[in-house]
Structure 1
Amino acid sequence: MIILYAFIHEEKHQDLLDRYLSVFSGKFREDILKYRRWQDAQLSLLGKVLLEHGLRVYYNLQDVEIDVLANKKPILKGHDIHFNISHSKDLVLCAIAEAPIGIDVEFLDPQINYLDFKSQMTPDEFHRIHHSDSKIKSFFTYWTSKEAVLKAHGDGMMIPLESFEINGNECSIDNEKFYVKELFIDKKYQSCIASADINIKEENSMYVHVKLEDLF
């Protein structure tokens, strides 16, 4: 499994648009150009750029078509390679693996009040966060692990966060077991990856920091 990540930079924004916007479909180009903030446009574009870069460099795959399942989860058409993309603040992650995966990253925002999310937690989850020495870290560990599981499952918003609980980095949804692994990318961010493949627990992921200047 490969985890590619990059940080957005305003001074590289126009270069990225000029170099990569024409590579992707008309619909995706239109969506990128609709963003009012350069940050949102670059985060979205970089996710696709990291995927294209990772497939080409590490899997020798080019011009791969992305299809969308009925549950709106994107897949690589005609290939048994799976991916998932997440971004927050200034960081974009793209995970590529041989099994279905979900990945989530969140900026450790000190302004977040975990009490506002109590209704989306199980009683045990709330207790662990509430009595933690680092409530912000504990809250975002809970959040990213659950979001990663939902993305690995594929049904996303159809499954309430409080309807399942992760214990020992494992959980079950609809009798399907999922495994969670915490990732470390940057001290300002919390990230987790999840899969129904138990091997994710022991797999040594390759972390690749893609610098924007290397993409041109």
Structure 2
Amino acid sequence: MVKAWIADVTSLLEKECYERYYRKVPDFRKKKADVLRLDQMKAQSVGVWALWQKIQTEYHLPENAAFNFSHSGNYVMCAACMDGENIQVGCDIEKTGELKMKLARRYFCREEYDTIAAAETDDEKTDLFFRYWVLKESFMKATGRGMALPVNSFCIRMGEPPDLIRQPAEFAQKYYYREYRIEGLAYKMAVCSTDKDIDTELHTELTL
């Protein structure tokens, strides 16, 4: 099974709290945080690793467990495979903002763009745009290629859950999706994995 967690890193914007978590993360993560310019970015980098450490401890996950990180705004996200081997996992969280139809036209596949354009209101268009955004990024991250994979090289059809209806030949495995929402939280979240069993619950119990 694949599970997903999110945590608020607002507390890490305070110097004392940040330094407390900073001391506990590995050296390579410290170096990554050190070169970041903004306090929020530093909090995201250290916070998401701190969340992963808490997940490992709480659920006794091995060092080689498949996992993936994402962060946006004041939230960090981690998805992890709780069992099994050779599982691919990707996740993405994005704070919703301005609708970017020009970006969708340029980078999304035609069906995805048409689905957004056909929505009746700007709010519905914006909702679809950011849903596609996190679904596409979570697949790209699950493949291990990330942004090196062309965004329009695969196509997603919305559903419950969404379905990958076209994908690059080099990634012929079946991929599965799960979307998450929290009432009142202006973020879109998604997990993509080759494991069909993706938990329907978004876990929030591991606070920072």
Please give the TM-score of this superposition, normalised by the length of structure 1. Answer: 0.80
The SS at the match of 1:23 is coil
- Cα displacement (A) at 1:130: 0.7
In structure 2, C-alpha distance between the alignment counterparts of 1:206 and 1:199, rounded to whole Å? 14
- Cα displacement (A) at 1:11: 6.8
In structure 1, C-alpha distance between the alignment counterparts of 2:18 and 2:11, rounded to whole Å? 11
In structure 1, C-alpha distance between the alignment counterparts of 2:5 and 2:176, rounded to whole Å? 20
- Cα displacement (A) at 1:170: 2.6
Match of 2:163 among 170, 178, 182: 170
Contact 2:33 2:42 in 1 (8 A): yes
- Cα displacement (A) at 1:16: 3.0
- Name the counterpart of 2:176: 179
Can you give the 5+ residue segments of structure 1 that lack an aligned partner in the other structure?
Answer: 62-75
Would you say how many aligned residue pairs link Structure 1 and Structure 2?
192
In structure 1, C-alpha distance between the alignment counterparts of 2:16 and 2:3, rounded to whole Å? 26
Quote the RMSD (CA, aligned, Å): 2.1
Q: Spell out, residue by residue over 1:16-42, the C-alpha distance to the aligned partner (whole angstroms, 9 max, x if none).
A: 332222223333212212222111100
State, as a whole percentage, how many aligned pairs show the same letter. 24
Q: Spell out, residue by residue over 1:112-168, the C-alpha distance to the aligned partner (whole angstroms, 9 max, x if none).
A: 322233111111111100111301100011111011111111111222111111135
Can you give the 5+ residue segments of structure 2 that lack an aligned partner in the other structure?
Answer: none
- Moved runs in structure 1, 4+ residues, more than 3 A? 203-206
Match of 1:87 among 52, 71, 74: 71
Contact 1:10 1:39 in 2 (8 A): no
Bigger shift: residues 11-20 or 140-149:
11-20
- Name the counterpart of 2:144: 154
Q: Spell out, residue by residue over 1:29-79, the C-alpha distance to the aligned partner (whole angstroms, 9 max, x if none).
A: 122122221111001110100000010012265xxxxxxxxxxxxxx4xx3
The one-letter amino acid of 1:52's match is: Q
In structure 1, C-alpha distance between the alignment counterparts of 2:26 and 2:50, rounded to whole Å? 13
The one-letter amino acid of 2:203's match is: Y
In structure 1, C-alpha distance between the alignment counterparts of 2:204 and 2:12, rounded to whole Å? 22
In the TM superposition, 1:201-216 aligns within 5 A as 203-205=199-201, 207-212=203-208
Contact 2:13 2:43 in 1 (8 A): no
